[in-house]
Copies of this chain bind each other. A is one copy, B any other.
């Protein structure tokens, strides 16, 4: 997170994280800059690696999401590397976090139905190298699904 973001930067990043489809002119109206100044700031966010990409968000409600808590059978860089490569090869892996605590990873699988989930969970997780155990929580309702992060720090 670059240390030199001013208040306008924070507001722009907030707006962009919620809706990146606005025109530069509309954004400029909201933060008090001209369209070209807005664009230059956005270019800077991209150039310094802060803004990674823009994505279209589809309605998650027809999809079967499953949050899987995964524990590996041993702790070493090699086991983690192999496990990650295995899991990352699957496009159904929507999210994948290495976490602290009694589990090693949280994996969110996005599939079209229960049959697809079972096939996916077996291929991606159950058959993964170095798996010790895993548990699955099915998402009954995706109440909020965003990727927003705070930009204001110390």
Contacts and interface: CB of A to CB of B under 8 A. Distances in A.
Interface of A: 1, 13, 16-21, 45, 49-60, 62-63, 65, 67, 84, 87-88, 91-101, 103, 105-106, 110-113, 116, 135-154
The 6 closest A-B pairs by CB, nearest first: A16-B56, A99-B137, A1-B62, A98-B141, A112-B153, A96-B144
> How many monomers of this chain does the complex have?
2
Given A98-B139, A101-B135, 5 more contacts: A55-B148, A58-B151, A96-B143, A96-B144, A112-B153
7 contacts: A13-B56, A19-B53, A19-B55, A58-B148, A58-B151, A96-B145, A97-B142
A144 B95 contact: yes
Contacts of A55: 16-20, 54-55, 57, 146-148
B147 A111 contact: no
